[in-house]
Structure 1
Amino acid sequence: MAKIIGCIGTSHVPTIGVAYDKGKQEDPAWKPLFDGYKPVAKWLEDNKADVLVFIYNDHATTFFFDMYPTFTLGVGERFPIADEGAGLRNLPHIRGNVDLQAHIAESLVNDEFDLTITQNKPIDHGCASPLPLMWPHEPDWPGVVVPIAVNVLQYPLPTPRRCYKLGKALRRAIESYPEDLRVVVVGTGGLSHQIHGERTGFNNEEWDQEFLALLQHNPEKLTELTHADYVRLGGAESVEQIMWLAMRGAMPEKIRKIHQNYYLATTTAMTVVVYEGEEETTSSAVGSNQSVMA
């Protein structure tokens, strides 16, 4: 049977992809961020991950505000990476597994999640920005991706609790798949940031650290917050954090943090965290780095 071996929370800032494509991994302004993903890549390699279930949001690339689904699951053998204005990226199309994707879709619908299903649609920076930092891709990706897009742009949004329940249903779907696959669930977005309006450039490091602590030890408390609470505490775009709750819902009650990197150098508190279930832990801690630049 398929098994969830851990989960990853990661920012999906589009400039990460731009900096990566321009070879800025050793640039002093970017090095702390890129270095923070090296332990993640090693953890995925050491644990032989076959599948990344990516919970992300589409940034008006495949969908637009006249038709923006609440939950969307992508099905396809290959997904092109969207050109969002900077040109096509020098990355292979993202690999998929149609049988697994179809199984998850059917299981989630039977678990009363009314999904939109797309086929072979392009994937934007919500997934494609952090992906090459975690997985090698020459000549091709080492495994497959199950893309699940969540509406965090067009109100009304799914509630934090609904996203948490999505994660629980996703775990049931994965664990009922008969093939022996090692699966990692990735929640993307955030942490604190606002990129428009009077609070442009707003960050709240104290809230970011509280969120990460609650995510690990008391996620139920995070499900009780409203969208307005997330916006007030972390900025308008930090409502993306509800996608981390979907990732957390797919994990057991008790989890162990394997790695954390927090880097505040732009308008977004760029963060990556790796967790394993305490009863499922297979690797030793690979470190934690807290890096804040004024």
Structure 2
Amino acid sequence: MAQVVGGAAMSHSPQLSMASVGWRAHGDLELPRLPGLDLTPTDRTEQELEEELVPTLLANRYEACQRALERTRDELLAQRPDILVVIGDDQRELFLDDIMPAVSIFRGESLEDRPPGAEVYPSTMESAYKYYHADGVDVYETHGELGLHLVEQLVEAGFDVAQFSEQPKDRTLGHAFTFVYRRLLEGLPRIPLVPVFLNTYYPPNQPTPGRCVELGKALREAIDSWPSDQRVSLIASGGLTHPIIDEKLDRGLLEALEAHDDEALARIPVESLREGSSEIRNWIAVGAALNDSPGKIIDYIPAYRSKAGSGCGMGFFTWTTE
């Protein structure tokens, strides 16, 4: 049977790939909003936020993020995975309003990064764009055999999971997945990928935290039942809270993951998982899948970038089964 050897979870914010002097400019941009959603305002005082934006502190936090990425990479590679099962969200990259599945798995042999061009992103993301997309079409090897097995086993487990084996025309593999290879594992030989897509962002069919726990457990059982000697690591891509940072929510999540507390993960309020914070669902699923594996916080860095309390709660976490 396949061997689950561990996993990792990390943020994929553009702030990880732009010098701290650019954080304030990025934070001052008008942030896009999903229709019908109002963000909960920060609970930090104006004075507290002023103190968070001191240039030396921003620079120190940027460096802390780089060290955390490196440690996450090193601990993931130490697991010696043959395949990466990456749980991430799609932000209108492969899926549009013609179809927006709650859970979907690709079971083909490759997916392409079909770069949309840096002009579709804010100008402040210029330095970060290359960690999301290549200059031209870039092919990612996917593991169709394991992808098909996961679909079949999840259906048996009661999940009406979507599946596809062909990439929609003129649509690209999303940054939740490309970031893993272009930034976390930058410059290294690529490990075959099984992408698991969760609709974290777009109402009305986002999985609840409780359902994400159930999904993680079912995924683990499915991988364990695969008749192969391959070593498999799971990765959660995205989060933590953003664009408004909620340190209490972030730290509570990390503590629940360390404690293997699936009940606490399932109780995370749905209303707190809005916009970028919705990517916490990916962490919940991986945490539940690796509930039997020792896990540890690599670091948590609240990377504020504006007086409104916007930024990204940068989280880095690993699990090792061996």
**Gap change, CA 1:90 and 1:32, over 3 Å in 2:** farther
Match of 1:181 among 230, 247, 254: 230
Name 1:4's counterpart in structure 2: 4
CA distances 1:157-185 after superposition (whole Å, capped 9, x unpaired): 11111111111110111011111111111
Contact 1:41–1:133 (CA under 8 A) maintained in structure 2: no
Higher relative contact order (CA 8 A, sep 6+): 2
2:268 alignment counterpart: 225
Indicate the RMSD between aligned Cα atoms, in angstroms.
Answer: 2.5
Cα distance 1:128–1:71, how it changes in 2: closer, same or farther (>3 A)?
Answer: same
Corresponding residue SS for 1:89: coil
Specify the alignment match of 2:22 in structure 1: none
Structure 2 distance, partners of 1:124, 1:38, is 22
Q: Is the 8 A contact 1:216 1:254 kept in 2?
A: no
What is the CA-CA distance between 1:131 and the residue it aligns to?
A: 3.0
Q: How does 1:34-45 map to 2 (within 5 A)?
A: 34-45=66-77
Whether 1:208 aligns to 2:257 is no
2:90 to 51, 58, 65: 58
After TM superposition, give the deviation of residue 9 of structure 1 in Å. 1.3
Shift of 1:18: 7.5
Q: Which residue of 2 aligns with 1:275?
A: 319
TM-superposition CA deviations, 1:223-265 (whole Å, max 9, x none): 023311x24xxx6431221221110111134633163353515
Preserved contact between residue 105 and residue 197 of structure 2 (Cα < 8 Å): yes
Contact 1:16 1:129 in 2 (8 A): no
**Aligned equivalent of 1:129, options 179, 184, 206:** 179
* Map 1:7-46 → 2, pairs under 5 A: 7-14=7-14, 16=16, 30-46=62-78
Q: Which stretch has the larger CA shift, 205-214 or 76-85?
A: 76-85
Q: In structure 2, do the counterparts of structure 1 residues 93 and 251 end up closer, same or farther at CA, with 3 Å as the change threshold?
A: same
CA contact (8 A) 2:213 2:265 kept: no
Give the distance between the partners of 1:215 and 1:203, measured in 2 at CA.
19
Letter in 1 for 2:240: L
Q: Structure 2 counterpart of 1:11, which letter?
A: S
Amino acid at match of 1:163: C
How many residues end up aligned between the 2 structures? 258
For 2:294, the equivalent position in structure 1 comes to 255
Q: Percent identity?
A: 26
The whole-number CA distance in structure 1 between the counterparts of 2:74 and 2:108 is 27
In structure 2, relative to structure 1, the CA distance for the partners of 1:181 and 1:18 (3 Å cut) is farther
Secondary structure, in 3 states, of the residue corresponding to 2:91?
coil
Q: Is the 8 A contact 2:83 2:193 kept in 1?
A: yes
Cα distance 1:150–1:130, how it changes in 2: closer, same or farther (>3 A)? same
Counterpart pick for 2:220 among 138, 160, 171 = 171
Whichever of the two has the greater Rg, that structure is 2
1:93 pairs with 2:139: yes
One-letter amino acid of the counterpart of residue 13, structure 1? S
- Residue 159 of structure 2, aligned match among 113, 116, 129: 113
Report what 1:144 is aligned to.
192
2:64 touches 2:301 (CA, 8 Å); kept in 1? no
Could you tell me which residue of structure 1 aligns to residue 284 of structure 2? Answer: 245
Instruction: Verify the 8 A CA contact 2:209 2:267 in the aligned structure 1.
Output: yes
Counterpart-to-counterpart distance in 1, 2:277 and 2:285: 15
Amino acid at match of 1:227: V
Partners of 2:77 and 2:135 in 1: how far apart?
Answer: 22
Residue type matched to 1:222 in 2?
Answer: L
Is the Cα–Cα contact under 8 Å of residues 256 and 265 in structure 2 kept in the other structure? yes
Q: Cα gap change, 1:94/1:17 in structure 2, threshold over 3 Å: closer, same or farther?
A: farther
Q: TM-score, normalised by structure 2?
A: 0.72
User: Residue 31 of structure 2 corresponds to which residue in structure 1?
Assistant: none
Aligned residues of 1:258 and 1:275 also touching (Cα < 8 A): no
Give me the TM-score of the superposition, normalised by structure 1. 0.79
- What 5-or-longer segments of structure 2 have no aligned partner? 20-57, 120-132, 306-310
